[in-house]
Chain A
């Protein structure tokens, strides 16, 4: 067991982790999410010690397999794995056999044969971790797949919000920007709805879903193209990264117009509830989706998100490695 005071079994009675893989947040139960957050609290405590490492996962090999560039997610997983005493192998698509045409299935099987117990994977194609998970006995942790899901980001965001706000029941969370192409928005919606929050997707009509929004127990996300009214009374405002190529693809007239209508700045944030929290999954385009003063202002949780990310990923790696195989 984990050598911290907060043992997950004590604090979340009844809940156990049985999943081999973490692919998205959509099928996670409230009890499973509670368990992740509770375990993460213990991990934060470990991180706050003078020697912030334990040897719980000694002998466990975690491979990071990144087909898409990432600094914080990959580094966060690596730090998390090492903080638990795991061995870490890092692979990127460039400079590996992937460039020589190796298929995803062959790559994950090779990693499994090398001895990887957990493969943290990022891929530009939606659903890729699902394919990998079906073809390896190793655990797959989705570190972001295409425009589909980013479950560890959603769980660290949820952790950060719960730490700040306590219960999320009835809290208003406005997610702003390119929701349609955002794996962060979708995965966040599932966990937030399960915690009783009111979730609003806000952005230009071309960057919002038209036929599908996440819903849990009959409660669905709402949709708005008008940020100034959507942001009113918000407890949390989450700005999404705006990719400049959306303009080239004709999805928005210009970045300038996007800024005018959707940038989170001091004036807009003032329309939210007083002291509302500003979040961003990073990396930020300061001056585009968020103004620099707000990005680094008192309401910004951006750095806290990153710090919490390590604890939440430690929790997930721990739960998956120690899962009960029923």
Chain B
């Protein structure tokens, strides 16, 4: 097997509080050694001076679209995108057709992953049958089949009794429930954040109270059942405060934030021109919020209150976005821009690099308890770690979705200059992707 030496980078492994300039040797399919001055014979060299060397990233929330929505993306195209974005482990949301709400469907979907995926894909099972919010899915069967969490993805479980039972049963199975916290009954299917921009543009809005109320309800249900609650993509200042309170109570509540909500605000819908853009590529659920919210999210992430960064990568076919704003699909394709977005925040001094790496590695592993299931992910521990990512924070890049591997070109960042790129990705001990100089 190929031996790879990543030479002279800043090695950051928050799982072991490691932060040093060193060489990393990958041999026999694992990280073999981390120290200064390794000099192996015949190894392939990756020069990593000025680069950051970290464990392969773990994404708790992504949409691979297959089976059922292959016009938006396939397991092959989207895991290629994940790999190029530095994500070597991806938890796949169950909003496929069919949705994994029982063992046989889950098995058929895992067969696709085994055949097509270029990174490690861990399935998330449905909370309710068909994600319809009416009857519970076969939770124990799904757990036995290898799901790492339960979620109905973009369909919040409206019925509080059903959610309570789901948390109790999932808790007994040792698995978290990852919940999109929204109270759709509070608004009329809002297409963006409710506030100054929605009122200016005449668009239906989602009030931040709809997120906060759902987070508060689900925290109480987690407390009542002892179940593990993972709050998917928190977006509001108030939501963060509720999570902080749950933590003070010692409840098993974790949460994630997306690069989109850390980087953008509701203003992206209106655009920067004189006339409103009604930019459907900035339409995402939950919606981009205000600058106050964005700053609160960054503060909570830096403080470790928000555990993980998850992409909510959501590719769509172009015709699903080239329509009237309220008719357009929700979601941003971001596997291939996420790291550049985050490194830009680091460059601006808004996000600490160490925390960024932790929130993409050991923190998500903790959220879903993945360490026992998949040893060696989210860490560089020699002998077990198999995935390594090399980041170049200094190289600027212009976002060009036409060059992406993802089928989803839906990004509000097209044409934007960002600071920082993924240089190389080692997956399962082999060099799986390397950014060519020509690509820069």
The interface on chain B, measured as residues whose beta carbon lies within 8 A of the other chain's beta carbons, has a size of: 22
The interface on chain A, measured as residues whose beta carbon lies within 8 A of the other chain's beta carbons, has a size of: 28
B402 interface contact, C-beta 8 A: no
B-contacting 9-mer, from A122-130, A154-162, A252-260, A268-276: A122-130
A-contacting 9-mer, from B45-53, B225-233, B271-279: B271-279
B2 interface contact, C-beta 8 A: no
B43 interface contact, C-beta 8 A: no
A105 interface contact, C-beta 8 A: yes
Q: How distant is B216 from chain A, measured CB to nearest CB, in Å?
A: 22
Binary B-proximity of A10-49 (CB < 8 A = 1, otherwise 0): 0000000000000110110000000000000000000000
Chain A residues with CB under 8 Å of B324's CB are 104, 123, 125, 127-128, 131
Number of A-B contacts (CB under 8 A): 67
User: Which of A123, A126, A183, A209 interacts with B203 by CB under 8 Å?
Assistant: A126
Whole-angstrom CA separation of A104 from B199 in the bound complex: 24
Q: Is the CB of B325 within 8 A of A125?
A: yes
Q: Which residues A243-268 have CB closer than 8 A to chain B?
A: 249
A146 interface contact, C-beta 8 A: yes
Q: Known contacts A27-B274, A103-B323, A104-B323; is A126 also within 8 Å of B200 by CB?
A: no
User: Which of A104, A125, A183, A211 interacts with B195 by CB under 8 Å?
Assistant: A211
Interface of A is mostly: loop
B201 interface contact, C-beta 8 A: yes
B202 interface contact, C-beta 8 A: yes
B291 interface contact, C-beta 8 A: no
Q: Is the CB of B277 within 8 A of A130?
A: yes
User: Which of B195, B199, B200, B202 interacts with A146 by CB under 8 Å?
Assistant: B202
User: Which of A103, A128, A212 interacts with B200 by CB under 8 Å?
Assistant: A212
B322 interface contact, C-beta 8 A: yes
Interface of B is mostly: loop
A145 interface contact, C-beta 8 A: yes
Q: How distant is A93 from chain B, measured CB to nearest CB, in Å?
A: 12
Chain A residues with CB under 8 Å of B197's CB are 212
A-B residue pairs in contact (CB < 8 Å), sample of 24: A23-B275, A27-B274, A103-B322, A104-B323, A104-B324, A105-B322, A125-B325, A126-B202, A126-B203, A127-B203, A127-B276, A130-B277, A130-B278, A131-B278, A131-B324, A131-B325, A146-B203, A181-B202, A210-B199, A211-B194, A211-B199, A212-B196, A212-B197, A249-B188
Q: Is the CB of A148 within 8 A of B322?
A: no
Whole-angstrom CA separation of A87 from B203 in the bound complex: 34
Instruction: List the interface of chain B (C-beta within 8 A of A).
Output: 188, 194-197, 199-203, 274-278, 319, 322-327
Q: Is the CB of B319 within 8 A of A103?
A: yes
New A-B pairs, 12, CB < 8 Å, besides A105-B322, A186-B202: A103-B323, A104-B324, A126-B201, A126-B203, A127-B201, A127-B203, A127-B326, A130-B277, A130-B278, A131-B278, A131-B323, A147-B202
Q: Is the CB of A211 within 8 A of B323?
A: no
A316 interface contact, C-beta 8 A: no
Q: Which among B203, B277, B322, B324 has the greatest number of chain A C-beta atoms within 10 A?
A: B324
Smallest CB gap from A209: residue in B: B199
Chain A residues with CB under 8 Å of B201's CB are 126-127, 148
Whole-angstrom CA separation of A127 from B202 in the bound complex: 8
A197 interface contact, C-beta 8 A: no
Q: How distant is A35 from chain B, measured CB to nearest CB, in Å?
A: 18
Q: Which among A125, A147, A183, A186 has the greatest number of chain B C-beta atoms within 10 A?
A: A125
A180 interface contact, C-beta 8 A: yes
A86 interface contact, C-beta 8 A: no
Chain A residues with CB under 8 Å of B277's CB are 130
Smallest CB gap from B290: residue in A: A211
Smallest CB gap from B325: residue in A: A127
Chain B residues with CB under 8 Å of A128's CB are 324
Smallest CB gap from B324: residue in A: A125
Whole-angstrom CA separation of A211 from B266 in the bound complex: 13
Q: How distant is A68 from chain B, measured CB to nearest CB, in Å?
A: 12
Chain A residues with CB under 8 Å of B188's CB are 249
Chain B residues with CB under 8 Å of A149's CB are 202
Q: Known contacts A105-B322, A125-B327; is A130 also within 8 Å of B202 by CB?
A: no
Q: How distant is B325 from chain A, measured CB to nearest CB, in Å?
A: 5
Q: Which residues A106-152 have CB closer than 8 A to chain B?
A: 123, 125-128, 130-131, 145-149
Chain B residues with CB under 8 Å of A145's CB are 202
